């Protein structure tokens, strides 16, 4: 599947643990998969986008656990064009021996039995992130297809599954000098509401994992858009901090980095790794992890960190005589202003709250507190100038907090944030039930005027915003409250602001919709608004009250008929439809194509050439790709004998390229290598033929073999034009389609009339 070759069995110096037995006897079985497909949300959190990505995390976590145990140094994740995923590691490989308790192979047990794995055997894994994580068995159950390949003990082992049920036995395919595991799965569309993976979402999590596991190399490739990232950070979370502070003005050059192991009674050894650095912003960014799991709701490790940070800074400031003009101790909020920190703990048998593992419950607060008190004090003693800068910033924050309290009290007394005194430019709605009300935050006065005319005044309110609002990431609380546009929003929304005053029950509109232009300025304003809500009214984001309007990208017009189009894909479909409306195509075998049949043929051609280009990027020879599209190499069995590949070899040699057959011992299959026009050696094998884009290309080629017969004659009225190839035909018809349409590409909301804005963007129906 185009995965990167991993160095066989290599491990970093000093990280390899004594070789514990990890075999069929290490696999403990605690349950089965009966309920998974019936109630998937119980196991992966949801069946929406977050649950979909959780599948990848479960497989990757197994590989990371191998790295934690000292047996894996590289992981590769590939998103294929059909949204299937391949995860490869160079760990020990899932055990393949016979499992006495289950009467089948250990690998099949791991793939088909819930809570089966080495994580429940403390001799196999001292620390694991997937503890009551459900593991690869749930991924298997929720995938319509899963292919397993294991490299272990000098052999390659393979097995296939559909919706959790094995369709083949685990069989030995060939010899290899590699070790590790390769899992390819395709999420089941019957289970998930979304089956398209987000590159940025996966990239963020894999980057995190690489930061949290020093020296672990993680490669992410997206074949849909031909892009990728490689993550490897020898500096661990200290580099994570520098990544988070990129582009920001920091108070001290080097992050404070603390690492060590402490014993927590009967719990055993706890590994602690903490890094922190301050910048000149006014917000706090703290990430906490337990066994690589992002504990978004915190837990005992985060509580210990926060209390120790406050105590250590106060104690150091007092002993260094820095609090002469300070009336009271600095609060936790004061010392965390501008803080960027990562707290990572690794402990045996962690206790979490809830299935999503958002909060660590294991009692290690005191242990973390003592560790930070000791290490941070040492750090302050070594770099007193950095300590003074941090404490001075906290003192400034304390004074600003007091000023903000006074400003808020004054504002409250004047009633400026009271919903009884709504801003004058707010065009409110008539409905009084917040659950039925919508508030549009509109960029600019002119677009605001258009929106006011186009809205349904019964339930839609409009608040025009002038210019770009304040960047709350770089402004203190008192300055933010002094900004007119922000005050208008706070008043209109009605919840109040700040820890003491925010009240979600007073929300006046359950839908707050950001509506900006589709240009750079509009994108910037949208980002500033989202930053404000995330930093100051996060509960609105968490409870799903913030929306983004999506105006159309195009308007097409033909005669009196107008149509609004949201994206480029739909625009291409519309061009096809228009271009084939009054045209007939006759192919080289006198078959007549018109109406829907012609539109489908042209759509298939567009898909075919897009896939053709993708394969050409791999093979780097369009003539050979053309041969592959016609080659009968669709099944694995086609590579088990040399006959069909021999025909392809001769065809490539006739084109003037050097081609050679060889046997792949690792998979016991035949393959063909050839030297392309650029002098590079390329391989045609089952791995290439099993790519989703190749399968789809072959399917389209077979489906249209009776129609794709040049030359093509296009008739429109009394005129006719002849084309020598399908590609010429497609390009010509698309060009004609554009000529017949009047196309308007929208850049801003102000370009639309009130009724257009209502029809395309504001009308939810």
Do 604 and 703 form a contact (C-beta atoms < 8 A)? yes
One domain for residues 53 and 92: yes
pLDDT band per the 50, 70, 90 thresholds, residue 8: very low
CATH of the domain at 192: 3.30.565.10
Residue 205 in any domain: the answer is yes
- Please, what's the largest Cα pairwise distance for the chain? 97
Q: What does 606-657 look like in DSSP terms, one character per residue?
A: HHHHHHHHHHHHHH--HHHHHHHHHS---SGGGGTSSHHHHHHHHHHHHTT-
Place of tokens 């799903």: 544
The pLDDT of residue 672 is 96
More confident residue, 79 or 487: 79
**Which structure tokens are listed for 526?**
């949208």
Taking residues 644-661, report their average pLDDT: 96
Instruction: Give the ranges where 482-579 is alpha helix by DSSP (H).
Output: 484-493, 520-536, 538-542, 568-579
With a cut of 90, say whether residue 439 has pLDDT above it.
Answer: yes
| Tokens coding 65 | 């656990």
Average pLDDT over residues 691-716: 94
Domain-located, residue 754? no
Instruction: Among 548, 582, 599, give the residue marking a domain's end.
Output: 548
Confidence of residue 13 (pLDDT cuts 50, 70, 90): very low
Same domain, 145 and 201: yes
Tell me: do 399 and 429 sit in the same domain: no
Contacts of residue 448, Cβ cutoff 8 Å, sequence gap at least 6? 425, 442, 462, 463, 464, 465
| Residue 755 domain flag | no
Question: Is residue 519 among the annotated active site residues?
Answer: yes
Residue 458: partners with Cβ closer than 8 Å, 6 or more residues away:
429, 430, 431
Shared domain for 200 and 242, answered yes or no, is no
Which whole number is the average pLDDT over 148-153? 97
Peptide bond into 383 cis (omega under 30): no
Q: Are residues 497 and 621 in the same domain?
A: no
pLDDT band at residue 15 using 50, 70 and 90 as cut-offs = very low
Mean pLDDT of 370-395: 96
CATH number of the domain at 490, please: 3.40.50.670
Give yes or no for residue 42 having a pLDDT over 90.
no
> Regarding predicted confidence, which is higher, 265 or 73?
73
C-alpha dist (Å) from residue 410 to 158, 334, 478, 506: 71, 22, 11, 21
Q: Is 607 found in the same domain as 535?
A: no
Q: CB atoms < 10 A from the CB of 293, how many?
A: 21
Q: What is the pLDDT of residue 25?
A: 66
- 738 and 557 Cβ atoms separated by less than 8 Å: no
Nearest to 330 by CA among 405, 404, 276, 399: 399
* Residue 329 reports pLDDT greater than 70: yes
Mean pLDDT across 298-313:
97
What's the CATH code of the domain at 348? 3.30.230.10
Instruction: Mark whether 399 and 465 lie in a shared domain.
Output: no
**Residues 398 and 466 placed together within one structural domain of the fold:** no
In a domain, 502, yes or no: yes
Average of pLDDT values for 297-307?
96
Average pLDDT over residues 198-222: 97
Cβ distance 144 to 83 under 8 Å? no
Domain annotation covers residue 711: yes
Q: What is the pLDDT of residue 24?
A: 66
In the numeric block, which tokens belong to residue 218? 């993680």
Give the DSSP per-residue string, 464-486: EE-SPPP-GGGS-HHHHHT-HHH
Write down the pLDDT at residue 353.
82
Three-state secondary-structure class, residue 723:
strand
Residue 56 has pLDDT above 90, yes or no: yes
Rg, C-alpha atoms of the chain: 31
In a domain, 2, yes or no: no
Lowest mean pLDDT among 68-82, 115-129, 290-304, 680-694: 115-129
Q: d(Cα 232, Cα 211) in Å, to the nearest integer?
A: 7
Which residue reads 């709250």 in tokens?
Answer: 353
456 is catalytic: no
Dist CA 303 CA 299 (whole Å): 6
Q: What is the DSSP string of 172-194?
A: EEEE-S--EEEEEEEE-TTT-S-
Number of H helices, E strands in the chain: 23, 34
Per-residue pLDDT at 748? 73
In the residue annotation, 521 being an active-site residue is answered as: yes
Query: Is-contact 348 126, C-beta < 8 A?
Result: yes
What pLDDT is attached to residue 100? Answer: 85
Q: In this structure, are residues 66 and 194 in contact, taking their beta carbons and an 8 Å threshold?
A: no
Better pLDDT: 166 or 265: 166
Task: Print the domain residue range for 590.
Answer: 569-742
Residue finishing a domain among 231, 264, 293: 231
The overall average pLDDT reported for the chain is: 89
Q: What is the mean pLDDT of residues 590-614?
A: 93
Instruction: State residue 234's pLDDT score.
Output: 95
Say yes or no to pLDDT of 119 above 60.
no
Task: Work out how many domains the chain is built from and give that number.
Answer: 4
149 forms beta bridges with 158, 182
Residue 129 has what pLDDT?
58
Q: Pinpoint the alpha helices (H) of 45-175.
A: 49-68, 106-112, 136-141
Catalytic pick among 269, 381, 519, 542: 519
Rounded distance, CA 325 to CA 392, Å?
11
**pLDDT value for 447:** 82
Same domain for 243 and 195: no
Whether the CB-CB separation of 648 and 627 falls below 8 Å is answered with yes
Question: Which pLDDT does position 30 carry in this prediction?
Answer: 44
Residues found in the chain: 765
Average pLDDT over residues 519-543: 92
Domain co-membership, 159 together with 249:
no
Strand 217-222 with 74-79, pairing: parallel
Element (H, E) at 692: helix 692-703
Residue 467: name the closest of 494, 448, 493, 491 by CA. Answer: 448
Report the candidate in 71, 75, 69, 70 with the shortest Cα–Cα distance to residue 89.
Answer: 75
What confidence score (pLDDT) does residue 16 get? Answer: 40
Asked whether residue 674 falls in the same domain as residue 577, the answer is yes
Q: What is the reported pTM?
A: 0.78
Q: What number is the average pLDDT over the span 711-725?
A: 93
CA distances from 77 to 1, 50, 142, 262 (A): 10, 18, 19, 34
Burial 608-618 (b: 16+ CB within 10 A, else e): bbebbebbeeb
Given a cut of 70, whether residue 146 has pLDDT beyond it is: yes
pLDDT value of residue 403: 79
Q: What is the pLDDT of residue 101?
A: 80
Tell me whether residue 517 is one of the annotated catalytic residues: yes
Query: What is the pLDDT averaged over residues 701-718?
Result: 92
Tokens representing 472 are: 């709350």
Catalytic residue among 61, 65, 222, 517: 517
Least confident segment among 352-356, 377-381, 516-520: 352-356
Confidence of residue 141 (pLDDT cuts 50, 70, 90): very high
- The pLDDT of residue 124: 56
* pLDDT given at position 610: 92
Q: Is the pLDDT of residue 9 over 60?
A: no
Domain boundary among the residues 231, 262, 294 is at 231
In a shared domain, residues 110 and 223: yes
For residue 493, tell me if it sits in a domain: yes
Query: Does residue 759 form part of some domain?
Result: no
Q: Which residues contact 759 (CB under 8 A, 6 or more apart)?
A: 564
Most confident stretch, 92-106, 429-443, 555-569? 429-443
Indicate which residue of 74, 334, 443, 664 is catalytic.
443
Percent of the chain topping pLDDT 70: 91
Average pLDDT over residues 200-217: 96
Beta strands per DSSP E along 191-312? 217-222, 227-231, 256-263, 269-278, 285-290, 293-294
| pLDDT the model gives residue 474 | 81
């Amino acid at each position: 599947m185009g995965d990167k070759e991993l160095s066989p069995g290599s491990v970093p110096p000093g990280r390899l643990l004594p070789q514990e037995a990890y075999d069929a006897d290490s696999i403990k079985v605690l349950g089965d998969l009966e309920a998974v497909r019936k109630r998937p949300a119980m196991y992966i959190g949801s069946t929406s986008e977050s649950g979909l990505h959780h599948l990848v995390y479960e497989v990757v976590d197994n590989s990371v656990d191998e790295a934690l145990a000292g047996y894996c140094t590289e992981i590769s994740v590939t998103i294929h064009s059909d949204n299937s995923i391949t995860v490869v590691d160079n760990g020990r490989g899932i055990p393949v021996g016979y499992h006495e308790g289950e009467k089948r192979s250990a690998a099949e047990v791991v793939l088909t039995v819930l809570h089966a794995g080495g994580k429940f055997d403390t001799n196999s894994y001292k620390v694991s992130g997937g503890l009551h994580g459900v593991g690869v068995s749930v991924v298997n159950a929720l995938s319509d297809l899963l292919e397993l390949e294991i490299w272990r003990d000098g052999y390659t082992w393979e097995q296939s599954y559909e919706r959790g049920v094995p369709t083949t036995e685990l069989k030995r395919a060939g010899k290899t000098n590699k070790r590790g595991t390769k899992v390819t799965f395709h999420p089941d569309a019957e289970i998930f509401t979304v089956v398209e993976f987000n590159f940025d979402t996966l990239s963020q999590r894999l980057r995190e994992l690489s930061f949290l596991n020093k020296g672990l190399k993680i490669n992410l490739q997206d074949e849909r858009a031909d892009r990728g990232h490689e993550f490897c950070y020898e500096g661990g979370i200290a580099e994570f901090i520098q990544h988070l502070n990129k582009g920001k003005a920091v108070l001290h050059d080097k992050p404070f980095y603390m690492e060590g192991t402490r014993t927590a009674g009967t719990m055993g050894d706890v590994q602690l790794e903490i890094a922190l650095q301050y910048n000149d912003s006014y917000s706090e960014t703290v990430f906490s992890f337990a066994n690589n799991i992002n504990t978004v709701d915190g837990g005992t490790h985060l509580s210990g960190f926060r209390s120790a940070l406050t105590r250590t800074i106060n104690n150091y400031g007092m002993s260094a005589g820095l609090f002469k003009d300070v009336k009271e101790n600095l609060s936790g909020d004061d010392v965390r202003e501008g803080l960027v920190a990562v707290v990572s703990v690794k402990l045996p048998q962690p206790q979490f709250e809830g299935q999503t593992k958002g909060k660590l419950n294991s009692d290690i607060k005191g242990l973390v507190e003592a560790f930070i008190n000791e290490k941070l004090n040492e750090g302050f003693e070594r770099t007193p100038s950095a300590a003074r800068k941090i404490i001075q910033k906290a003192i400034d924050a304390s004074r600003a907090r007091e000023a903000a309290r006074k400003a808020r009290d004054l504002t409250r007394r004047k009633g400026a944030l009271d919903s009884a005194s709504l801003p004058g430019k707010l065009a409110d709605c008539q409905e009084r039930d917040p659950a039925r009300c919508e508030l549009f935050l509109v960029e600019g006065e002119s677009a605001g005027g258009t929106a006011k005319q186009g809205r349904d005044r019964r339930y839609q309110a409009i608040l025009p915003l002038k210019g770009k609002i304040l960047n709350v990431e770089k402004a203190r609380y008192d300055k933010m409250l002094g900004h007119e546009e922000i005050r208008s929003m706070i008043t209109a929304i009605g919840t109040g602001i700040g820890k003491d005053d925010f009240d979600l029950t007073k929300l006046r509109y359950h839908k707050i919709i950001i509506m900006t232009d589709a240009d750079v300025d509009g994108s910037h304003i949208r980002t500033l608004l989202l930053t404000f809500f995330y930093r100051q009214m996060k509960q609105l984001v968490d409870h799903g009250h913030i929306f983004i309007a999506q105006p159309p990208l195009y308007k097409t017009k033909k005669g009196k008929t107008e149509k609004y189009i949201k994206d480029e894909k739909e625009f291409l479909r519309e061009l096809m439809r228009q271009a084939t409306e009054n045209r007939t195509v006759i192919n080289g075998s006198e078959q007549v194509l018109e109406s829907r049949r012609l539109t489908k043929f042209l759509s298939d051609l567009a898909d075919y050439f897009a896939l053709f280009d993708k394969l050409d990027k791999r093979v780097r020879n369009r003539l050979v790709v053309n041969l592959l599209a016609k080659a009968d190499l669709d099944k694995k069995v086609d590579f088990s004998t040399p006959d069909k590949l021999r025909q392809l070899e001769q065809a490539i040699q006739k084109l003037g390229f050097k081609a050679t057959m060889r046997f792949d011992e690792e998979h016991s299959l035949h393959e063909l290598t050839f030297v392309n026009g650029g002098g590079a050696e390329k391989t045609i094998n089952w791995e290439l033929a099993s790519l989703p884009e190749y399968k789809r290309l072959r399917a389209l080629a077979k489906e249209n073999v009776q129609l794709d017969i040049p030359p093509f004659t296009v008739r429109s009225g009394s005129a006719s034009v002849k084309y020598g190839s399908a590609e010429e035909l497609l390009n010509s018809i698309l060009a004609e389609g554009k000529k017949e349409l009047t196309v308007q590409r929208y850049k801003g909301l102000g370009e639309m009339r009130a009724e257009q804005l209502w029809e395309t963007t504001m009308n939810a129906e």
